Chains A and B, each alone.
Chain A
Amino acid sequence: MESWLVVVSILFPIICSLLFLLLRSPVIRNSIVIAASAVLILTSLGFAYFFGQASIDLHDILGIELNEIVAVLDFALLAYIIYVGIRLHSRIITILALAQLIPLAYFELTYREALQRSGALFHLDGLSIIMVLIISIIGSLIAVFSIGYMKKHEEHLKLEKSRQPVFFFVIFLFLGAMNGLVLADNLLWMFFFWEVTTLCSFLLIAHDKTEESIKNAKRALWINLLGGVGFLAGIILIFGKTGGVLVSGLLEGNNVPSELVLLPVAFLCFAAFTKSAQLPFQSWLLGAMVAPTPVSALLHSSTMVKAGVYLVVRFSPVLAGTHLGFMVALAGAFTFAVTSAIAISQSNAKRVLAYSTIANLGLIIACAGIGSPVAVGAAILLIIFHAVSKGLMFLCVGTIEQEIGSRDIEDMDGIMKKMPFTATVAAIGAISMLLPPFGVLVSKWLAIEAAVRMPVVLILIVIGSAFTLVFWTKWIGKLLAVNYIKKIPREKLHPTVRSTLGILLVIVLAASMGIVFLFNFFVSPQFAGITEERIMGGRGLLEIAGDGVIGSFAYFPIFIVLGALALSIPFILRKVSPEKVRQPYFCGENCEIEGNIGFRAEADTETPSAFRNYYLRWAFSEETLGFWASMISAILIIVLFVVSI
């Protein structure tokens, strides 16, 4: 059964994506998108249903060795990237692709037989199933959202010929490749899917074909290719030291001492840092937001950047308790603190989200680097909660942007009046990133406990958390600001847009409420093989598994309190009668200017009321922090390699 699920979750989206290229009718395409999404979601739920640790060997299909197929596809992919590099006149892309192609060719040809013998090709466990669920559910929902979004997007761009076939082709290819990446046990397979996601993100970022989008796509491509080179180096070194390329063989055999593979794992972490846009590689993810918003949602929540953190979490047993692990944790925590600070200075909503993504990935990497069960538990939970909340936030921002024509937070002042549904959903999404009892904060709470034995990491996490409070709160304030209005209007939205926002919101709430279930079902089995002495500060973990209690903290009462508060909203709204409404105080006479509130200033001039948020640019801007942060993080990465030699 599991092997069928694996095949469907990888091949089915890829077959669908090819269909999109062939069938160009929008109606058929949209129905396939919805149907394919349903199949993908059901498949991923099938994984959860048949959950268990399993290794699946799909050695050959119809007599053709799968390893051979992947090797051939890998060469084709790299050749295509070289072609892209030449066509775009980008020397660095060509060189980096060659730097993968030549060693890979040498490696595959020299050790052909040994590589073919490598056994189980897919491995299922809690982590990979969590990833499949995230990719398939969130990714599919984003694809469905794109139906309505891309329609409006292309109307806005006034394209003569729709480019949606290519768009959906890449999106589904991406989802299939991501599923492959997280399920693959063979590092060479993982590498192939890794490079497919790199190429897909390049194609998606370049989708609008503007000068800026192509420039940013090129940058994304070369930074990720650099990571790819690191990945390949890691694989070759692992093969050289252990004679195998299977992740499970490396982690579970217990016959490989972790000192032996530290250097290759350092290379893999380097690859993960590029893919997860950690400092100093953050620029590609920031540039990626020129793409249509569903692309950003996809890159930031369920795919691409999550591949990087997945890799680090996957190898966290090797990292635990080593100097390399400490450096990885330090680099991640540093990214978390600095990018959270920079987010304060940003008024572009998508940039705020991007920095917040980088920060959260940093936190995940920090936890994975610590490597204790509590820490890894926190990392996996963060992957889940960040994916759902961030996916929702991007879709909300995209919806708002299409309506008001701006992604600036300042322009979202009073958005509640025009788009009450989207604004409320966005505000809840933001709250779920920040406050208790939502999952992101509970994971952060675990992260603090996990980091207690590493004071430097801990300090960075605590300080970074304080920064996140600032930029989220002032944004939520803008979203929810509203004058008195007699009747709250109903907002017009494309049905796919409204339904995906609604479903994602439900998932955000349900995931947070079900955190104990998620933890017990998917996360704690990860630690089954870990011996007692490797548990550092593990008290919280043991307490987590209790009934309905997270740590030593009774969790549900908070939801009940918030639920009661939410139930009071209709009552509060109903009680208001218009004659009790006053204008805000302006220290002078109020007046109304085109429906907005204003006041009479000097010489009776009518002045509209305006208030800009604090951005504290003197302290937190990219200009003041960016350079030094990049320098320090580059040094951290160099040290990371040095300590692992």
Chain B
Amino acid sequence: MIQTLIIVILIIIAAPIIGGILSGIDRIITARMQNRVGPPILQPFYDFFKLIGKENIIVNRFQMLYVLGYLVLMITSLVLFVLKQDLLMIIFIMAFGGVSLILGGLSVQSPYSRIGSHREILQMLAYEPVLIFMVVGIYLQTGSFTVQSVFDMNQPLIYSLPLIFIALLYVLTIKLRKSPFDFSTSHHGHQELVKGMLTEFSGPQLALVELAHWYELVLILGFIVLFWATNIYIGIAIALASFVLEMFIDNISARMTWKWMIWVTWSLGIGLCIANIALLY
């Protein structure tokens, strides 16, 4: 019991530090690829503390509730993940967190925010099935939905679920809202939707959104680690490599349309999943 509590507290403290540093690395590498020097590695934390200290400007009373919902549910799903609980439920709770942020975006009467939120809904439509198929693939291998069962396996998951792994990498780009799938919070220089779903969040709210996103990042990378859970260091190395790959993709690709996204994700992504599941039968 006490041990569990320590793990929970540790992960709640450590996850945003890891997530923040990864964002810092992301920004430096991105800058280098664009022939810029880039900010210091701790810049995300400076940004966070600057935002959290700002005046709490609101558009309606409820925004903070949705932001807190996003944050708390992301933390919950990460904690459940670290405690090796049910993976399918973790994905559902993560989805609830995502929905909470979307509702926050929809709750204000700004067309920018609402279009961004609708695009985020479509992004969820694109990636949710792939995530669920991933869990189903794991179930077919282990006979259980739990994270624990993955760690109990003798051989890495990637041997039996290679196609699902590729599909997961693919939806990772959508989940992290990176180019070519950054419709819902398009920024990165192209400003036509201002900042999409996040347009009307400011100051402390935005800081908390950023914080929640760090938890989300760690959790998603955790999913990748699962694919080589027999040796967790290899798993972490693969996760970091995937993260760097995402940065490359982010920088070399232009944003596509959301119709294209759904079309490709559903045909290619789900196709890969189904093919992989068919292989397991």
B124 CB within 8 Å of chain A? yes
By secondary structure, the B interface counts as helix
Instruction: Report which residue of A452, A473, A483, A557 has the largest number of chain B beta carbons within 10 angstroms of its beta carbon.
Output: A473
Q: How far is it, in angstroms, between the C-alpha of A470 and the C-alpha of B99 when the chains are bound?
A: 10
B61 touches which of A434, A476, A484, A568 (Cβ 8 Å): A484
A565 touches which of B55, B72, B107, B146 (Cβ 8 Å): B72
Q: How far is it, in angstroms, between the C-alpha of A480 and the C-alpha of B100 when the chains are bound?
A: 11
Determine whether the beta carbon of A539 is less than 8 Å from that of B58: no
Which of A34-42, A320-328, A441-449 interfaces with chain B? A441-449
Look across to chain B and name the residue whose beta carbon is closest to the beta carbon of A553. B86
B9 CB within 8 Å of chain A? no
A525 CB within 8 Å of chain B? no
As a 0/1 sequence over residues 566 to 587 of chain A, the CB contacts with chain B under 8 angstroms (1 = contact) are 0011001101100011111111
Give A461-496 interface residues, CB cut-off 8 Å to B.
Answer: 462-463, 465-467, 469-470, 473-474, 476-478, 480-484
Known: A552-B85, A565-B69, A576-B61. A435 touches B106 (CB 8 A): no
Q: How far is it, in angstroms, between the C-alpha of A568 and the C-alpha of B62 when the chains are bound?
A: 11
Determine whether the beta carbon of A584 is less than 8 Å from that of B58: no
A319 CB within 8 Å of chain B? no
Known: A568-B68, A569-B65. A581 touches B58 (CB 8 A): yes
Known: A474-B118, A585-B194, A609-B109. A552 touches B86 (CB 8 A): yes
Determine whether the beta carbon of A585 is less than 8 Å from that of B128: no
Determine whether the beta carbon of A448 is less than 8 Å from that of B136: yes
Q: How many chain A residues have a CB neighbour from B under 8 Å? A: 59
Known: A477-B117, A568-B68. A584 touches B59 (CB 8 A): yes
Chain B min CB distance to A443 (Å): 12
A611 touches which of B55, B72, B114, B278 (Cβ 8 Å): B114
Determine whether the beta carbon of B107 is less than 8 Å from that of A480: yes
Chain A positions within 8 Å of B21 at CB level: none
Determine whether the beta carbon of A553 is less than 8 Å from that of B59: no
Determine whether the beta carbon of A467 is less than 8 Å from that of B61: no
A470 touches which of B69, B89, B125 (Cβ 8 Å): B125
Known: A552-B144, A572-B65, A582-B58. A452 touches B136 (CB 8 A): yes
B199 CB within 8 Å of chain A? yes
A551 CB within 8 Å of chain B? yes
Determine whether the beta carbon of B76 is less than 8 Å from that of A452: no
A584 touches which of B86, B108, B146 (Cβ 8 Å): B108
Which of B45-53, B90-98, B211-219, B223-231 interfaces with chain A? B90-98
Q: How far is it, in angstroms, between the C-alpha of A533 and the C-alpha of B277 when the chains are bound?
A: 24
Determine whether the beta carbon of A611 is less than 8 Å from that of B65: no
A109 CB within 8 Å of chain B? no
Chain A positions within 8 Å of B148 at CB level: 552
Instruction: Report which residue of B57, B59, B144 has the largest number of chain A beta carbons within 10 angstroms of its beta carbon.
Output: B59
B57 touches which of A557, A572, A580 (Cβ 8 Å): A580
Known: A477-B102, A539-B143, A584-B110. A614 touches B122 (CB 8 A): yes
Q: How far is it, in angstroms, between the C-alpha of A561 and the C-alpha of B61 when the chains are bound?
A: 21
Give B131-154 interface residues, CB cut-off 8 Å to A.
Answer: 132-133, 136, 139-140, 143-146, 148
Known: A473-B102, A552-B85. A455 touches B133 (CB 8 A): no
Chain B positions within 8 Å of A554 at CB level: 80, 85
Chain B min CB distance to A425 (Å): 16
B113 CB within 8 Å of chain A? yes
Determine whether the beta carbon of B60 is less than 8 Å from that of A483: yes
As a 0/1 sequence over residues 528 to 542 of chain A, the CB contacts with chain B under 8 angstroms (1 = contact) are 000000000001100
B121 CB within 8 Å of chain A? yes
Determine whether the beta carbon of A557 is less than 8 Å from that of B76: yes
Chain A min CB distance to B142 (Å): 10
B60 touches which of A470, A484, A569 (Cβ 8 Å): A484
Instruction: Report which residue of A436, A484, A582, A609 has the largest number of chain B beta carbons within 10 angstroms of its beta carbon.
Output: A436
A459 CB within 8 Å of chain B? yes
Q: List 17 A-B contacts (CB under 8 A).
A: A435-B99, A436-B92, A449-B139, A455-B277, A462-B136, A469-B121, A469-B128, A470-B122, A477-B106, A477-B117, A552-B86, A572-B61, A572-B62, A581-B57, A584-B108, A587-B112, A609-B109
Q: In the complex, given contacts A473-B124, A576-B61, what are 18 additional A-B residue pairs having Cβ atoms less than 8 angstroms apart?
A: A434-B99, A436-B93, A449-B139, A449-B145, A465-B132, A481-B107, A484-B59, A552-B144, A553-B86, A558-B76, A565-B65, A565-B72, A569-B65, A572-B62, A584-B110, A584-B200, A586-B110, A611-B114
Interfacial residues, chain B to chain A (CB-CB below 8 A): 55-62, 64-65, 68-69, 72-73, 76, 80, 85-86, 88-89, 92-93, 95-96, 99, 102-103, 105-115, 117-118, 121-122, 124-125, 128-129, 132-133, 136, 139-140, 143-146, 148, 194, 199-200, 270, 274, 277-278, 281
Q: Which 10 A-B pairs have the closest CB atoms?
A: A477-B106, A584-B110, A553-B86, A435-B96, A436-B92, A553-B89, A552-B146, A466-B128, A614-B118, A611-B114
